Every structure is written in structure tokens, then in C-alpha cells.
Structure 1
Amino acid sequence: MAEVKRELSVPPDVEANGGTEILRLFISGGAMSLSMQRAFAEPEAWGRLLAELAQQASAIFERETAMSAADAIAEIRIALDAALDHIESGLRPKN
């Protein structure tokens, strides 16, 4: 049986002022499924976006679990660094 699709609400400022959706991410069957579009002129803006996501995720962990936001950020950083190292190793030219 298929899972029910659950979507988040549009943020109030976007409801009031409009905006462009740049990322849609779902967990389906235990895996991430996403669609996205380039929204920034420079790639470093994506770094700032990832940092904002980490900050908001750490706040959720602090609010909903016994973990502090600082501990959550530390764990997120370790996992992000490892994942980026893995990705980067696949992008290096083979000699």
C-alpha cells in the first residue's frame, strides 16, 4: 500500500508576498526524492542555504528530542563533511 503524500504549508511571508520554490524534497520508501532548480548566480549561495537548513534542523532536534542544537549541528557537520568528501572523490579526474 502506498504512503499518503504529506506536504508542508507554504511559509506565511511567501503566501503574502509570493516567491519561487527552488527545492522540493520527500522521503519515499525510506529514500530521498527531490526536484530542484538553480536559483542563485553563484554556487556559494547553496553553501549558505545548506547552513540555514542545518541550523533549522538542529533547532528541531533541540525542540523535539533530548539533543542540544550544538550537538545536532556537530553531528550534521560530520555527516555533511563525510558525504561531500565521498562526492568530491568521485568528481576527481582519474589518472
Structure 2
Amino acid sequence: MSDDERPLLHTIETPPDAIARGGHEVLRAFVVDGAVSVALRRSFDDPFTWGVLLVDIARHAARIYAMEGALAEEDAYREILAGLQAEIERPTDPGSTGPLN
């Protein structure tokens, strides 16, 4: 497949503080044909820290909903947590992880 034939890939910018101070990317997630595709590195000695990271991401997502006027931040956060709980209790797709993830 040539570059001209490749589907358009929509990415987001690197956060300004990471550009200014450095760091390493720990998580990249894409929606591909309605499913989530993830690349990540372990990054933390303690798996507990992943829980903190995931909640921090949920808070950021809730703020985005509020900034765009779609929902109040608290309502969006509550819905995100409800989705997390539902997925924990009844996984829709356990997926798989390979060495490139």
C-alpha cells in the first residue's frame, strides 16, 4: 500500500510540558473500525500506579466533555466511572496483548 492509499490517521499533539521538559510516552490508544487499539509500555514498578493513571485520564476526559458543553464535568465523570465499573464486571472484549504492545 502506497502512502497515497493509506487511510488517514488522526493523532493528537504531544502535551506542551512534555515537549518542554521531556518524558516518555506510556499509552497510545486509537479507535479502529469501532474497536480500541492500544500500544503501551509497562512504565511503572507498581501496577497500582496504572489505576491512578486511568482515573487521571477519566478526569481529563470529563473536563473535555464539560469544556465542549456536552455535559457537566461531574456528570461526565460519573458516566465514565459507570462505564469502567460495567466493563470490570462484564468485559465486552478481554482482547490480547503482544510484545509490541
Please state which band the TM-score falls in when normalised by the shorter chain: 0.7 to 0.9
Instruction: From 37, 45, 52, give the equivalent of 1:48.
Output: 52
**Where in structure 2 are the equivalents of 1:1-95 lying within 5 Å?**
3-87=7-91
TM-score between the two structures when normalised by the length of structure 1: 0.82
Return 5+ residue gaps in structure 1 as ranges.
91-95
Q: Which has the higher helix share?
A: 1
The 3-state SS of whatever aligns with 1:20 is coil
- Letter of the structure 2 residue corresponding to residue 11 of structure 1: P
The CA deviation string for residues 36-92 of structure 1, in whole angstroms up to 9 with x for no partner, is 1101111110111011111000001111134101111111111101111225xx8xx
Please tell me the root mean square deviation across aligned C-alpha atoms, in Å.
Answer: 1.8
| Other-structure match for 1:93 | none
- Identify which of structures 1 and 2 has the higher relative contact order when contacts are C-alpha pairs closer than 8 Å and 6+ apart: 2
Return 5+ residue gaps in structure 2 as ranges.
95-101
TM-score between the two structures when normalised by the length of structure 2: 0.78
Q: State the aligned residue count.
A: 88
User: Alignment identity in percent?
Assistant: 35
Q: Which runs of 4+ in 1 moved over 4 A?
A: none
